Every structure is written in structure tokens, then in C-alpha cells.
Structure 1
Amino acid sequence: MASSTQPDRFGFLHIDLNSFFASVEQQIHPEYRGRPLAVVPTMADTTCCIAASYEAKDLGIKTGTQVGEAKRICPDIVLIEGDHEEYAKYSKAIADAVELCCPVAHTPSIDEMVCELIGREREPPRARQIALEIKQAIYRDVGVALRCSIGMAPNRYLAKIASDMQKPDGLIGLLPSQLPRAIAHLELRDLPGVGARTEVRLNAKGITTMEQLLALDRTGMHGLFNSVWGDRMYHWLRGAESGDDGAPVASGVQKSLGHSHVMAPEHRSQDGAWAVAHKLLHKAAMRLRMEKFYAGSMGVAIRYQLTREQASRVSAKKHFSGIKHSGWGMEARFRDCQDTLSLLEVLRGVWKQRPQGAEFERPFFVGVTLRDLIPASEHQDSLFGDVNNRGELSATMDKLNLKYGHTTLHFAGMLPARESAPTRIAFTQIPVQYGVDYM
């Protein structure tokens, strides 16, 4: 039960943009409003929808539905190849509109924003007024096709939960006096951080409903998760503003950056995969310098498409596109650096160690991640300096690429994939504009 000393106040607003990619497309194309629409990565029946309009959702088409199945359900569905730079622009415009009403304190993803309330803003009538002003600002200043659901709660965790409780265009508030009974009807999977695997583990420990979870005391919650996460969740679900109790909180310093890409059929070869990997590194290295970091390690991941016969002989996994595959990955450590040429040498060394054989001839996915990041201010220069002026070379490349586009000047190895691997929005990486491009 909520503490009797806890005032009925809201601390946070969580803004969740409804069917964001699909709504942006309906804003850009008025003729698609009111029609079932899905955003796809490529125009192929074997791939999956990455977003669906509410008209499509009403028919059972959602994120992850295979395009061929979506066409079967709705032959007239509008399919649009995603334009991630456009989505990044709209996200920025929405954040600017929200800022007119209340400062944005956190941006968890491209379609989510969090506002922290202070002073009299925490009083329920004023918090509700701010939430309604945010909705109106988005509608008025950004687009009539764009809607959001807003959750109001004492802490960020509950505000996120509340934002998912009513869609589309919802507004739900969870006050301490209403907790935890106001969330007792939810499913375990409705809790942020509880995915399919976590749910299976909870079920194995006898927790299958929210009521059973909420019935646990703090010690029981700690034992359930076997970590301080259980303690924090115990407090969060009861409206506490902080459930850390002095436990270490994850550092806010960025630890990695990178890019990955599912390759078009024409690049699904050894040479094509190398060219794509080269481009992914080119983009990551440029971002590394723009964000003023040095990297100390690199991770490379490749997934290989398997034939039906090959898949029957090995422990094959299934990609969301339906492709059965095997995977390989490797990490290399090195003296921290940020210039493209040095990082390219590391990538080339890793690439030489990729597996060989009939089962590794059809790469379809490549990922390159720069890890162990340190701020440029903490980097220690080599005793011998930049002998080959690699830093100056990268700086010159950046200057031209910022002005004319990030693929204007590059090393020859990425030429076959120059137009491949366009900007994509990942769950943990929101594209940022550098010069004329979003990356």
C-alpha cells in the first residue's frame, strides 16, 4: 500500500507518440489518413512491418507482422518504405512543441519524451492542464495526424506504465493514494523491463499475475529478481520517487555506439558484406568524433542465411524477416582512437577471422559497434604523436562530409555500398543531425 505520508502529486509526464512512424506518413500524405498503412524497411513480402497505423492495427496488423501476411489480411493496405531522417525531423519538431509547455528532461527513444514537474506543476489539476497543452501544441504546431498518450505519475517508471494504459490519444494519471490497486489489472508484460524471457522466469517462480507480484514484500521482490532491481521495482510500483536506497545507479556515460544493417539481396556476398561493414564503420567513426569520444574496442557481428538443409544440421535461429541463420561475432581491443583509418585497420583484422565454409557464404546482416568509449577530454595522446596525420585526415573528411553529405569523401572499400545502409532508428539510438545528414 502507498505510504500515508506520501502526498498525492505527480512528478513526471511520460509522452508516448502513437504509431509514430505511420502517423508521420499520414501527416506527410493526407490521402493516407483514415486508411490502413504500414511502414516497412524494404518493399519485400518476406520482411516485417516496423510500424502500423491504428486503422491497420484494428485489422490485426501490427509491428512485426510479415508484409505478405499484412497483404493477405488487407489487400489494399498502404505500404511505405520508412524514411528515418523524416521521422527524426518530426521527433525534433515535437520536442520543440513540448518544450513550449514544459521542459523535456529525458528522451528515452525517438517516440518518447519525459517531462519532470516541479513546484505547483505537481498538483494534479495543473499537471493535467500541462498534459492537455502538450497535446494541443503537437496538434497545432507539428501536425493534425499526430497524437500522443501521456502518463502522469509520481515517478518515471509509473509514468511510462500509465502512458501505455490508454491508446491512442490517452491521458492517465496514477496517484500514490491509488497505488498499487490502480495497476493490479495489468499483465506482467505491461511492466517496463519485463519481456518474454523475464516473464518465463517469473512464471517459473510461481508469479503469473500482477496481483501475485504486488502481494510480495520488498524482500520477496528482491529475491524474485535476485538483484536491487527487485527493491527498486517494489518502491516504484507503490509510487515512491526513488527506490534506489543507496544502491549504485547505472552511469549515464555512453558506453558504445554503432550501426547495423540487413543487406539488400545484391549485397549478400562476401564482398558486399565487407563494403557494407566498411560504410557502417565510416558512419560510426564520424559520429564518434562528432560526439567527442575515443573508442577502445570494436565488436563485429555477421549473420549468415542458411538453406533448409543447412538449418536442419545446425542450431539455426530465425530472424524477424523469417530468414533462418547462424551468427558469428568477435570483439577486438586496441589503444583508444577515433580516426577512421586506424579503426578501419582494426575492422580489417577482425574481418579476416570470420568463419569460412558453405554455411558462411550468404551474409545478410552486418553490425559494427564501437565500445569502451571515453570522453575526448580524458584521452591521453601517444608519446610519438600522430605520425601519419590520421587525425587531420579524418578532420578534413568530416569537414567536407558535414557540408555536402556524409558519403561525399570516403575510403574506396565502401564504394560498392555507398548508397546502402541508410539511416535507421534503433531503440537505443536516435538519429542526430550532423551537417546536412542525420546519422
Structure 2
Amino acid sequence: MNNPNDGLKYLLLDLNSYFASCEQELDSHLRGKPIAVVPMLNVETTCCLAASYEAKAFGIKTGTLVKEAKQMCPDIIFVQAQHEHYVYFHHQIINAVESCIHIAQVLSIDEMLCELTGSQKKIEIAVELSKKIKTTIRSKVGQCLRCSIGLSTNPFLAKVASDMKKPDGLTLILKKDLPELLYTLKLRDFPGIGPQMEKRINQFGIVSVKQLCQLTQTEMKKLWGGINGDRFYLWLQGEDVSLPHSKSQSLGHQHVLEPKLRDRKSAYQVTQKLLIRAARRLRREGFYTKKISLHVRFADLYDSFDSYENLEETQDTLTLLHAITRLWEKLPQHKPFKVGVTLSNLIEEKHHQFSLFKTESRENLMQTIDKINDKFKDKVYFGALCDRNQAATTKIAFRRIPKMSEF
């Protein structure tokens, strides 16, 4: 019989080795083999975006350099990322999950959170629901697309639970099992504890999850330096304390350059294309920007260049192109390896301060170009980009899923 104090409330679904699993679903010859998804083939200086579980058995993971992966597993197969397929499968998986339970929040390309209601909060029903979701994804989307599911009393613990057993796991964390159930975990197994936070925690003399769980709420608040400590303490107790809703504060794109594009002229043209795409997103999502930033990492030394310019509120592509040109002129004479553009200090359209000198015809032009590109798949672009129009194609940031129209 269920204890009402167990309070199951959330189901978090985490797709296992998602990019690699998509590739194995697309090509049956890759199934059961160690594969790694990479941004581009035959470039040893790039890194793996994802690894199949067969590759993970050799220690290969996201971020492993291609040349290191070859040493770790001589038989590894490298596959160039096909982001449009990952987005397609993502939407198919959403439809499959929605046929079983409503998705409260899509967290990333490979994670989604569901809120349990009514009888779904009962342990046996929640477990059967989880099994149904797994079966539905495999039958409606693909046999290779496995997921781990975590069930708990808050989203934080549901995420922790989903990571405890992979692949194809199903784990419950109930209040009655806290905090002892967490003692086998490492500090870095908790969302929100990265290398820097772990170092800070260690400086307080805490090296284990058991020690962390024994802190008082006041001590936890001091450790985190504010309200996040309160939340973390309550999450570990199994309480459901939500984070405040935050709206997008920045958007941007970055791209690792192919070897043939690692010269200043080509890198600049790719940067322009990234900016044009970001400006289009800015208009689509209903924002104006007040700050533009340029990031360039160099191939010939372990260094990077960062610069920014404050702007009057704008969402105009030409205005932003002029700004990025001014920033680019400050760039040192080194060989570019990676370029990135960020638009920040975003203002919602409804709060935009209209200028007396606003060029309405320019805004209409930008909106018209957006509509044409949406309809005809990016057939309209700026002349300077003609010879780089196939560079910097749409990629996936794990926390942002592109629309299919962006491919």
C-alpha cells in the first residue's frame, strides 16, 4: 500500500546516448557497434558530440577528442552529425510521450519532464506508466531509442533518479528512502554541482554526499551563498520547491570551423552567417537586443578573443552586421578555430522603446526576408555570404531545439 508521504509527483525522461542512438536507428549496420557522432569527419582536432554505449564501454564520452577516441577504441566508427534527423526524432518522441502523459516541460533535445496527477502518483501506476512510455517510444519511433526514467517528489530528484541507472533504467526516489538512498552518489552526480561548485564544497570540508546531506538549511545557504542553498536543502529533503520562471536573457550561435575555413576572411563570413541566423531568431522569438558579443578561439595557441558592443535596442540584421564588423576589426592576427556570436540584454517587443527615427521600411524588409526564407528554405541571403552559404549549417545546442524550418 502506498504511503501518502511518499508523494510521487514527477517523471523525468532522459533519452540514452541520444544522437548516437538516432544514428543507429537510421542505419542498422551501426547497431551494436562502437560509434561516435562528430561535427565533421576526418578532423582529428574536433571532439565527439555523443557516443554509443558500445563506445562508452571503452571510456569514450561527449567531449572526447577524435584522436583520443581512436586510441581508446581502434574499431570505433565516426558518423557526421545529422541534426535535422535528431530534431525530427525529438518531435516524434514528444508525440509518443504525449500519447501516454502530458509533458509539462521540454528541458532539452533529450530530456522532458512530466507532472504526475491523480492516480498516476501511486507507485505501481507510475511504474506501469513509465514502462508504457518506453514501449511506445520503441514501437512508434524506433527500437534503438531507449530512455531512462526517474520518478520522485520533485524535478531535481527525478533528474537524479533518471541518471542512476543507464541505459533503459527506471528508478524511484521516495521520501522514506531519503537521504540514505543518495549516499552512494558522488557530489558531481547532482545537477548544479560542476567542477567549480564541487571545489567550493570541498573547501568547506565536505567530500561526500552523506556529509552534504547532514548540513542544516542555514549551513547549506551559507555554502551556496544565498537562496539557492535553501532550495538545494529542500530538494534533498524531497520537497517540491520550484525555481522562478526565467525568460531568455541571451541567444546566439557558435561554430567550429572546418580546416579549409580557418582563415580570417572565411571565418568572418561564417561569423556573419551566424549573426544573420541569430538576428532571425531574435525577430521570431519577439525580442530586441541591446548588446552584441563576439567570441573567437584560435587554432595556433590556447587563447581566445572576446569583445562586445552596447547598442540601442534593435533587431535589425544590417545594424547588427555593422556592429560585428567593428568588433571583428579588433581581432588579433591569429588563425581562427571557432567563432561565436551572442545577442544579450534582450528586451521583449512589448517593452521596446520606439525611436522617433525608426526605419519602418527596414523592419518590413527584414520581416519579408524572414518569410521568404521560411517558405523557400533560405534562398535569400546577403551577397557577401555567397561562397560560405553552406558553412555553419544549423546545429543543436542541447538546451535549445531548432525549428525544422531552420535546416
- The two structures have a TM-score, normalised by structure 1, of 0.89
Q: Is the aligned partner of 1:405 residue 2:399?
A: no
SS class of match (1:301): strand
One of 334, 344, 355 as aligned partner of 2:311: 334
Report deviation, 1:250: 4.3
Match of 1:239 in 2: 238
Counterpart code for 1:267? L
* CA contact 1:9–1:124 (8 Å) conserved in 2: no
Counterpart code for 2:381? H
Report deviation, 1:63: 1.7
SS class of match (2:137): helix
* CA contact 1:301–1:368 (8 Å) conserved in 2: yes
After superposition, the C-alpha distances for 1:210-243 in whole angstroms (9 at most, x for unaligned) are: 111011111111111122111111110110011x
One of 236, 251, 256 as aligned partner of 1:257: 251
CA distance in 2, matches of 1:222, 1:413: 53
Match of 2:336 in 1: 363
After superposition, the C-alpha distances for 1:27-47 in whole angstroms (9 at most, x for unaligned) are: 000111111111111112222
Counterpart code for 2:387? P
**Which stretch has the larger CA shift, 8-17 or 116-125?**
116-125
CA distance in 1, matches of 2:72, 2:356: 65
**Which stretch has the larger CA shift, 148-157 or 297-306?**
297-306
The gaps in structure 1 that reach 5 residues or longer are: 307-323
SS class of match (1:364): strand
CA distance in 2, matches of 1:381, 1:69: 54
Match of 1:184 in 2: 183
Match of 2:30 in 1: 32
* CA contact 1:149–1:170 (8 Å) conserved in 2: yes
Identity score, percent: 43
Deviating beyond 3 angstroms after TM superposition, the runs of 4 or more aligned structure 1 residues are none
CA distance in 2, matches of 1:391, 1:279: 19
Counterpart code for 1:169? D
Report deviation, 1:251: 4.0
Report deviation, 1:120: 2.0
Report deviation, 1:91: 0.9
CA distance in 2, matches of 1:178, 1:280: 49
Match of 2:57 in 1: 58
SS class of match (1:325): coil
SS class of match (1:276): helix
Report deviation, 1:334: 1.3
CA distance in 1, matches of 2:64, 2:330: 36
CA distance in 2, matches of 1:164, 1:220: 27
Matches within 5 A, 1:302-341: 302-306=296-300, 324-341=301-318
SS class of match (2:303): strand
CA distance in 1, matches of 2:119, 2:283: 42
CA distance in 1, matches of 2:57, 2:387: 42
Q: Is the aligned partner of 1:159 residue 2:153?
A: no
Report deviation, 1:92: 1.1
CA distance in 2, matches of 1:130, 1:25: 27
Q: Is the aligned partner of 1:417 residue 2:396?
A: no
CA distance in 1, matches of 2:211, 2:17: 32
Report deviation, 1:10: 1.0
Counterpart code for 2:122? E
SS class of match (2:212): helix
CA distance in 1, matches of 2:364, 2:250: 23
Report deviation, 1:179: 0.9
* CA contact 1:268–1:362 (8 Å) conserved in 2: yes
After superposition, the C-alpha distances for 1:279-309 in whole angstroms (9 at most, x for unaligned) are: 0011111111111221121111111223xxx
Match of 1:345 in 2: 322
After superposition, the C-alpha distances for 1:132-190 in whole angstroms (9 at most, x for unaligned) are: 11111101110001100000000000000000000000000111111111111100000
Match of 1:313 in 2: none
Q: Is the aligned partner of 1:426 residue 2:397?
A: yes
* CA contact 1:102–1:115 (8 Å) conserved in 2: yes
Q: Is the aligned partner of 1:380 residue 2:353?
A: yes
SS class of match (1:152): strand
**Which stretch has the larger CA shift, 158-167 or 33-42?**
33-42
- The two structures have a TM-score, normalised by structure 2, of 0.95
Report deviation, 1:13: 0.6
Counterpart code for 1:19? S
Match of 2:367 in 1: 395
CA distance in 1, matches of 2:214, 2:357: 63
After superposition, the C-alpha distances for 1:241-283 in whole angstroms (9 at most, x for unaligned) are: 11x6xxxx54421111110011111211111121011000111
CA distance in 2, matches of 1:49, 1:292: 34
Counterpart code for 2:208? T
One of 251, 270, 276 as aligned partner of 2:264: 270
One of 284, 289, 295 as aligned partner of 1:295: 289
CA distance in 1, matches of 2:56, 2:245: 38
CA distance in 2, matches of 1:234, 1:252: 21
The gaps in structure 2 that reach 5 residues or longer are: none
Report deviation, 1:97: 0.6
Report deviation, 1:14: 0.7
RMSD across aligned positions (CA): 1.6
Match of 2:9 in 1: 11
CA distance in 1, matches of 2:291, 2:18: 34
Counterpart code for 2:376? Y
CA distance in 2, matches of 1:251, 1:374: 16
Match of 1:134 in 2: 133
SS class of match (2:104): strand
SS class of match (2:95): helix
* CA contact 1:6–1:176 (8 Å) conserved in 2: no
CA distance in 2, matches of 1:303, 1:62: 23
The number of equivalent residue pairs is: 404
* CA contact 1:275–1:415 (8 Å) conserved in 2: no
